[in-house]
Amino acid sequence: MKNVNKIVLSLFVITLAGCAKQESKKIYQWGNYQDTLYSFYSNNTAPEAQIGALQEVVEKAKATAKPVPPGLHAQLGMLYSKTGKLDLAMVEFNKEKTMFPESAPYMDFLTSKDKGSLK
């Protein structure tokens, strides 16, 4: 009888363990990227402040060995182009293109001489 109780108890514990909420693993290191992006489009926050905030996300991503989310390097590149740092903008656009190949057509558009933000 004791063995049956142990088996039932073991099955109950295993069942509960299987039902326990698993913490979702995030693929990307988001940091405050979404808040920074919202601030850019709604509050006209200075580009320099946004650049600093996005650079913090990049550093945190390096520290946690997680990639940054799609669009972060493109946004950083656009901010650099707004501040006249076109060489840094190109670096960020190329990082975006390398990390997320599906963004290549848009990055090519932004970096072309007759279109986009880098005229």
Per-residue model confidence as pLDDT tens for the chain (119 residues): 666 666 655 655 566 556 555 556 788 989 888 888 888 888 888 899 999 999 999 999 999 999 999 999 999 999 999 999 999 999 999 999 999 999 999 999 988 875 555 54
Tokens of 67: 């990639």
CA–CA gap between residue 42 and residue 83 (Å, rounded): 19
Alpha-helix residue ranges (DSSP H) falling in 68-117: 72-82, 86-99, 104-111
How many residues appear in the chain? 119
> Which has the closest alpha carbon to 38: 58, 60, 53?
53
Torsion of CA 40, 41, 46, 52, to 10 degrees: 10
Structural domains in the chain plus CATH codes: 29-111 (1.25.40)
